[in-house]
């Protein structure tokens, strides 16, 4: 069967060493609310940003400044009205859906604050999913998933249950395990340590450091200042991209 | 990679009324395309035109056949189209009664497509049917029971097995989880996701359930009054809808 | 007996017979294909052989000798009344002796005595469409015949094996004609199926209520459907005829007393009587 992604990685892949893994130029975003009189809400303008392989960059700024919006735009979840967003050579603002899907499968991971899964699917299968999508053998993918769940201190008796009934902290850790199952060259983290206890927070920071060490380009939102200082090389204030604040 | 299906300028009118108009898209191998819209938006008309159940007034539906490459299924002869329908295509109806033979056992339902393409060895047909019942989580000892003795969820899973047994490449699904309990829906969705991935299937999924497309579809087309008003990556269309109608549709969903 | 003046020869008017003959010729030209025809009201109820009677009426000439059998017997109600009907309306000679007949109308059997090139066998058919029970839509079954989509026929046989361990269909066993049309041979026992193929006589099938005629010209290839691992088996009761001792004929089971005593006898009464006359067996 030619399952998508089953083929071995193309040596001329888009993941050959790039100077910048994530690169934003003149990015602008506004929402138009057609059902509220066509109100147009400008959110971002002239955003410039880049992340090199092995680098971890923090997005900072007041609540509502557009940090999560920018992350979602980079992931292709929100549309971009102006500028370009290049991730490992793919311009997310112009790419066809299937190119973005391929990017998400192979190159760009995203750990959000929310766990979204098919009810009834066991936790271990949820975590293994990214590897299965890449066509890895099932037992191999499940092995990786078990290792991650173990490392993130999810009790083994929960592995075969659906995570939909887990506590907030457990769901967060399942989400992180899934996000780290595949060694993405680029990674977006939205509050990865938000509802974790000290022990698990340390594990996650360790995992982020390891990802950096293998050359992943990481862009994150961390409200936890200590965590930010521990893993981030520099910070970018999204407030600078607020429309009107540019000039 | 060449698209499995290339649709251009597809239109179907019912007298003066528009069924669907000017629909165009490409579908690549392994992709799942969702089509959403309210009742009467033309999504079922479109699906039936694509699957050869209705003849469109205008437009092309090019399918990448195994033997001859791209062929227009609108203009190909009926025998060829029907041959595609029972080999490379599959159609999962909303109501399993429309897609199953209710008077024939589960094994016979699954075996029919094998016999239709020349299967003449009872033992092998039965083995394949048993294997497929297992894949859709129906116990092997139910093989000789009729679908009328099955629950709604089982009937739907049987319909899926019956359709996928010949290893089709393109599956048309018309509200496959409609009419099922929420818990049964989830199980079916998980099953479909697994099968789509394992078999590398392409699928076109018509539904009005936005939660279903979010979980199953890679891409989404939103239809209104016979026209595609918005198309794109599923989560993009649902989370950052651009068209007034899509915004209305997304904001109308009850939040839990 | 002579022909009554009050009837046309063989009851039907000439235009109707012409219409039926055209359907018969088309049926012979396309073996196994169901030809629609404008079936007439006959002076007997549907289910009593109105299709067969119309086909016989269209084929009979004053020189013909007619034999009518019902389940192999010449002396059952149905056989007797149809024979009388043609004696009265056509004035043709009748016989019970298979080799002497030029036209044989039958319900549910093929005579044991091999037929010849000089004979026509007319079958009474209740339901001409072999796909009917699995696909009730006539528009769809006609399309299936057109496109030779016959997988469904095997579904029927599959169901048999799944339920009974073997193909339990014992009569109206479906056949494929010349590798083209799947045909219902009327409710003859599957024991008779091998006689359908390569037969020197013309075989005509008439379904009155359903308004269909189909035909097998002489020496047509007729194959009973089956599976590679469940081949067609004509099967036969594990007895000899209690009257004539025949080991090769199709048998009826007859209850002979109130204590459950039973014997097996030839269903073809003429064949059985002929053998007894030859060998001087028990009367």
Which of A 151-190 lie inside 8 A of B, CB atoms? none
Touching status, chains B and A (3+ beta-carbon pairs under 8 Å): yes
Number of structural domains chain C divides into: 2
CA distances from A75 to A31, A66, A133 (A): 17, 14, 18
Question: What does each C-alpha distance from B238 to A77, B209, B222, B235, C116 come to in angstroms?
Answer: 9, 12, 10, 5, 77
- Of B227, B229, B232, the residue nearest B217 (C-alpha): B232
Whether C266 is a known active-site residue: answer yes
C241 is catalytic: yes
pLDDT of residue C274: 94
B236/A76 Cβ within 8 A: yes
Question: How far apart are the CA of B55 and the nearest CA of chain A, in angstroms?
Answer: 29
Asked if residue C229 belongs to a domain, the reply is no
- The verdict on residue C148 lying in a domain is yes
Longest Cα–Cα distance in chain A: 56
Report the residue from C147, C151, C229 with minimal CB separation from B123: C229
Catalytic position from the list C59, C199, C206, C241: C241
| pLDDT band at residue C134 under the 50/70/90 scheme | confident
CA–CA distance, B246 with B6 (Å, rounded to integer): 24
Q: What three-state secondary structure class fits C274?
A: helix
Q: What is the mean pLDDT of residues C125-146?
A: 93
| A1 with B215: Cβ contact below 8 A | no
The chain-wide mean pLDDT, for chain C, equals 93
Higher pLDDT, B80 or A120: B80
Range of the domain at C277: 236-283
Q: Kindly tell me the sign of the dihedral angle through the C-alpha atoms of C75, C76, C82, C88.
A: positive
What is the chain B residue with the closest CA to A73? Answer: B236
- By Cβ distance, the residue of C151, C161, C162 closest to B116 is C151
In angstroms, the CA C62 to CA B68 distance is 61
Residue of chain B with shortest Cα separation from A100: B233
C279 in a structural domain? yes
pLDDT of residue A247: 41
**Interface residue B105 vs chain C (CB under 8 A):** yes
Active site residue C272: yes
| pLDDT tens for each residue of C12-37 | 999 999 999 999 999 999 999 999 99
Q: pLDDT for C97-117, tens place per residue? A: 999 999 999 999 999 999 999
Chain C residues with CB-CB distance to B116 below 8 A: 149, 151-152
- The answer to whether B101 and B159 have CB atoms below 8 angstroms apart is no
pLDDT at C4: 61
**Residue C270: what pLDDT?**
95
Q: Is residue C193 part of a domain?
A: yes
Place of tokens 């003795």: B149
CB atoms near residue C114 (< 10 Å): 13
Residue C12 belongs to a domain: yes
- Three-point CA angle C182, C183, C186, nearest 5°: 160
C181-183 and A90-91: which strand pairing?
unpaired
Strand order in the sheet with B17-27: B17-27, B5-14, B58-65, B69-72
Q: Are residues C163 and C241 in the same domain?
A: no
Q: Is C168 on the interface with B (CB under 8 A)?
A: no
Chain C (203-232) residues lying within 8 Å, Cβ to Cβ, of chain B: 227-230
Q: Is residue C132 part of a domain?
A: yes
Can you tell me the distance from the alpha carbon of B150 to that of B138, in angstroms, rounded to the nearest whole number?
10
Chain B within 8 Å of C257 (Cβ-Cβ)? no
Contacts B240 to A, Cβ<8 Å: 31, 72, 77-79
Domain end, chosen from C224, C248, C265, is at: C224
Chains that touch C (3 or more CB pairs under 8 A): B
Burial label, B163 (beta-carbon count in 10 A; 0-12, 13-18, 19+) = buried
Q: Do C165 and C250 share a domain, yes or no? A: no
Query: Which residues on adjacent β-strands are paired with residue A65?
Result: none
Contacts of A76 in chain B (CB under 8 A): 233, 236
Q: Do B233 and A2 touch (CB under 8 A)?
A: no
Q: Which of B120, B124, B141 to mutate to test the interface with C (most CBs of C within 10 A)?
A: B120
Q: pLDDT, tens digit, for every residue of B25-79?
A: 999 999 999 999 988 899 999 999 999 999 999 999 999 998 889 999 999 999 9
Domain membership flag for residue C231: no
The predicted pLDDT at position C1 comes to 47
Cα four-point dihedral sign A191, A195, A199, A200 = negative
Q: What angle do CA C25, C173, C23 make, to 5 degrees?
A: 15
Say what percent of chain C tops pLDDT 90: 87
Q: Quick check: do C and A touch, 3+ CB pairs under 8 A?
A: no
**Interface residues from chain B to A (CB-CB < 8 Å):** 28-31, 183, 186-187, 189-190, 193, 197-200, 214-215, 218-219, 232-233, 235-236, 239-240, 242-244, 247-248, 251
In chain A, which residue's Cα lies nearest the Cα of B196?
Answer: A3
SS3 C47: coil
Shortest Cα–Cα distance, B66 to chain A (Å):
14
- Burial class of residue A158, CB neighbours in 10 A (0-12, 13-18, 19+): middle
Cβ within 8 Å, pair C162-B107 = yes
Per the CB < 8 Å rule, is C158 touching B144?
A: no
Last residue of a domain, one of C197, C224, C251: C224
| pLDDT for C226 | 96
| Same domain flag for C60 and C161 | yes
Other Cβ atoms less than 10 A from the Cβ of A182: the count is 19
Question: Residue C123: its pLDDT value, please?
Answer: 98
Cβ distance B121 to C227 less than 8 Å, yes or no, reads yes
Best of B81, B114, B115 to disrupt the C interface by mutation (most C CBs within 10 Å)? B115
Give the DSSP H/E element, type plus range, for residue C86.
Answer: helix C77-89
Asked if the C-beta of B158 comes within 8 angstroms of chain C's C-beta atoms, the answer is: no
User: Rg for chain A (alpha carbons), in Å?
Assistant: 18
Percent of chain B predicted with pLDDT > 70: 99
Residue C2 has pLDDT above 60, yes or no: no
Other beta carbons less than 10 A from residue C218's beta carbon: 15
Q: Are residues C7 and C44 in the same domain?
A: yes
pLDDT at C236: 83
Kindly identify which residue of chain B lies nearest to residue C230, measuring between CA atoms. Answer: B122
Helix (H, G, I), strand (E, B) or coil at B230: strand
- The per-residue pLDDT for range B126-174, each reduced to its tens digit, is 999 999 999 999 999 999 999 999 999 999 999 999 999 999 999 999 9
Strand partners, A82: A28
The full 3-state SS of chain A, as one line of letters, equals: CCCCCCCCCCCCCCCCCCCCCEEEEEEEEEEEEHHHCCEEEEEEEEEEEEECCCCEEEEECCCCCCHHHHHHHHHCCCCCCEEEEEECCEECCCCCHHHHHHHHHHCEEEECCCCCCCCCCCHHHHHHHHHHHCCCCHHHHHHHHHHHHHHCCCCHHHCCCCHHHCCHHHHHHHHHHHHHHCCCCEEEEECCCCCCCHHHHHHHHHHHHHHHHCCCEEEEECCCHHHHHHHCCEEEEHHHHCCCCCC
Q: Residue A234 pairs with which residues in a beta bridge?
A: A57
Q: Which of A2, A100, A101 sits opposite B29 (nearest CB)?
A: A2
Q: Is the pLDDT confidence value at C151 over 60?
A: yes
Regarding whether C246 and C175 lie in a shared domain, the answer is no
Interchain proximity B112–C152, CB inside 8 Å: yes
Q: Are residues C62 and C104 in the same domain?
A: yes
Q: How many CB atoms lie within 10 A of CB C277?
A: 11
Series of mean pLDDT values for 10-residue runs along chain A (247 residues): 44 55 94 89 93 95 90 95 93 93 94 84 94 92 96 95 90 95 95 90 95 95 92 93 69
- Catalytic residue, from C27, C32, C72, C206: name it: C32
C134 and C242, same domain (yes or no): no
The pLDDT value recorded for residue B183 is: 75
A22: left (phi over 0), alpha (psi -120 to 50) or beta: beta
Q: Look over chain B and give the mean of its residue pLDDT values, rounded to a whole number.
A: 92
- Which value, to the nearest 10 degrees, does the dihedral of the CA atoms of residues C271, C275, C281, C283 take? 30
Which chain C residues are closer than 8 Å to B107 by Cβ? Answer: 158, 162
Cβ contact C152–B143 (<8 Å) = no
d(CA A23, CA A215): 16
Instruction: Check CB contact under 8 Å for B186 and A119.
Output: yes
Question: Do C118 and C175 belong together in one domain?
Answer: yes
C122 & C205 share domain: yes
Nearest to B233 among A4, A33, A76 (CB): A76
Q: Are residues C184 and C259 in the same domain?
A: no
Give Cβ neighbours of residue B176 (< 8 Å, ≥ 6 apart).
B92, B94, B156, B160, B188, B192, B205, B207
Render B101-155 in DSSP notation, one character per residue: -TTS-HHHHHHHHHHHTT---HHHHHHHHHHHHHHTT--GGGTTS-GGGS-HHHH
Q: Do the beta carbons of residue C239 and residue C155 sit within 8 Å? A: no
- Full-prediction pTM beyond 0.80? yes
Find chain A residues with C-beta within 8 A of B214's C-beta: 116
- ipTM of this complex prediction, to 2 decimal places: 0.87
Asked if A41 is an interface residue toward chain B (Cβ–Cβ < 8 A), one would say no
B188 contacts on A by Cβ (under 8 Å):
none
pLDDT tens figures, B107-139: 999 999 999 989 999 999 999 999 999 999 999
A79 shares contact with chain B (CB less than 8 Å): yes
Beta strand A22-33 pairing with C175-177: unpaired
Report the alpha-carbon angle B65-B71-B77, nearest 5.
100
Question: What pLDDT does residue B255 have?
Answer: 59
Pair C11, C84 in one domain? yes
Give dist(CA B234, CA B217) in Å, integer: 6
Please report, for the domain that includes residue C188, its CATH number.
Answer: 3.40.50.11310
Task: Give pLDDT, residue A20.
Answer: 85
User: Catalytic annotation on C244?
Assistant: yes
- Please give the average per-residue pLDDT across C245-256, as a whole number: 92
Query: In angstroms, rounded to a whole number, what is the distance separating the alpha carbons of residues A74 and A53?
Result: 16
**Does any CB of chain B come closer than 8 Å to the CB of residue A35?**
yes
Say yes or no for a CB contact (<8 Å) between B239 and A77: yes
| C43 and C147 belong to one structural domain | yes
């Amino acid at each position: 069967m030619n399952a998508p992604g089953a083929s071995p990685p193309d040596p001329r892949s888009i993941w050959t060493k790039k100077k910048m893994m994530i690169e934003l130029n003149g990015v602008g975003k506004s929402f138009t609310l057609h059902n509220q009189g066509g109100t147009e809400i400008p959110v971002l303008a002239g955003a410039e940003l880049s992340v090199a392989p092995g680098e971890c960059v923090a997005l900072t700024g007041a609540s509502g400044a557009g940090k999560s919006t920018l992350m979602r735009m980079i992931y292709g979840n929100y549309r971009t009205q102006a500028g370009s967003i290049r991730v490992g050579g793919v311009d997310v603002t112009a790419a066809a859906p299937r190119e973005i899907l391929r990017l998400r499968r192979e190159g760009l991971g995203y750990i959000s604050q929310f766990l979204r899964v098919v009810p009834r699917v066991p936790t271990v299968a949820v975590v293994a999913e990214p590897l299965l999508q890449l066509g890895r053998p099932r037992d191999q993918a499940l092995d990786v998933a078990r290792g991650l769940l173990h490392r993130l201190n999810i009790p083994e008796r929960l592995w075969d249950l659906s995570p939909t009934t887990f506590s907030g902290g457990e769901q967060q850790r399942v989400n992180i395990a899934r996000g780290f199952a595949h060694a993405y060259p680029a990674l977006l983290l939205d509050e990865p340590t938000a509802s974790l206890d000290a022990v698990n927070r340390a594990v996650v920071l360790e995992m982020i450091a390891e990802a950096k060490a293998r050359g992943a380009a990481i862009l994150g939102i961390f409200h936890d200042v200590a965590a930010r200082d521990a893993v981030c090389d520099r910070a970018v204030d999204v407030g600078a991209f607020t429309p009107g604040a540019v000039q | 990679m060449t698209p499995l299906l290339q649709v251009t300028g597809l239109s179907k009118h019912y007298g003066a009324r528009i069924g669907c108009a000017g629909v165009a898209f490409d579908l690549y191998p392994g992709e799942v395309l969702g089509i959403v819209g309210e009742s009467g938006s033309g999504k079922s008309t479109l699906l039936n035109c694509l699957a050869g159940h209705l003849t469109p007034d205008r437009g092309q539906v090019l399918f990448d056949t195994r033997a001859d490459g791209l062929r227009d299924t609108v203009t190909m002869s009926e025998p060829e189209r029907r041959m595609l329908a029972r080999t490379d295509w599959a159609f999962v109806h909303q109501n399993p009664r429309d897609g199953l033979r209710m008077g024939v056992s589960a094994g016979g339902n699954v075996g029919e497509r094998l016999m239709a393409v020349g299967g003449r060895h009872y033992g092998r047909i039965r083995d394949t049917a048993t294997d497929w019942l297992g894949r859709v989580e129906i116990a092997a000892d139910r093989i000789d029971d009729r679908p009328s003795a099955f629950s709604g969820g089982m009937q739907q899973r049987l319909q899926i097995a019956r359709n996928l047994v010949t290893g089709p490449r393109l599956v048309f699904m018309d509200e496959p989880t409609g009419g099922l309990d929420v818990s049964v829906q989830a199980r079916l969705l998980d099953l479909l996701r697994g099968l789509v991935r394992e078999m590398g299937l392409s699928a076109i999924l018509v539904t009005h359930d936005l939660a279903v497309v979010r979980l199953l579809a890679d891409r989404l087309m939103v239809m209104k009054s016979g026209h595609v008003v918005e198309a794109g990556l599923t989560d993009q269309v649902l989370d950052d809808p651009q068209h007034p109608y899509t915004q209305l549709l997304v904001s109308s969903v009850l939040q839990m | 007996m002579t022909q009554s003046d009050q009837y046309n020869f063989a009851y039907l008017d000439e235009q109707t017979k012409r219409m039926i003959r055209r359907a018969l010729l088309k049926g012979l030209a396309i073996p196994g294909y169901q030809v629609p025809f404008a079936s007439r009201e006959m002076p007997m109820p549907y289910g009593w052989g109105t299709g067969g009677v119309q086909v016989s009426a269209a084929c009979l000439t004053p020189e013909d000798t007619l034999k009518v059998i019902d389940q192999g017997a010449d002396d059952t109600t149905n056989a007797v009344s149809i024979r009388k009907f043609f004696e009265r309306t056509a004035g043709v000679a009748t016989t019970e002796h298979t080799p002497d007949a030029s036209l044989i109308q039958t319900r549910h059997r093929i005579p044991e005595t091999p037929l010849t090139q000089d004979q026509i066998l007319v079958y009474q058919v209740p339901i001409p469409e072999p796909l009917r029970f699995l696909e009730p839509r006539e528009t769809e079954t006609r399309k299936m015949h057109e496109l030779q989509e016959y997988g469904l026929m095997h579904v029927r046989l599959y169901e048999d094996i799944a339920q009974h361990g073997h193909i339990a269909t014992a009569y109206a066993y479906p056949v494929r004609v010349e590798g083209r049309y799947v045909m219902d041979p009327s409710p003859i026992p599957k024991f008779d199926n091998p006689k359908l193929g390569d037969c020197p006589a013309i075989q005509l099938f008439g379904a009155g209520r359903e308004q269909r005629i189909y035909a097998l010209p002489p020496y047509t290839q007729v194959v009973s459907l089956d599976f590679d691992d469940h081949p067609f088996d004509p099967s036969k009761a594990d007895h000899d005829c209690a009257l004539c001792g025949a080991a090769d004929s199709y048998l009826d089971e007859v209850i002979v007393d109130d204590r459950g005593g039973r014997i097996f006898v030839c269903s073809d009464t003429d064949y059985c009587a002929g053998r007894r006359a030859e060998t001087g067996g028990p009367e």
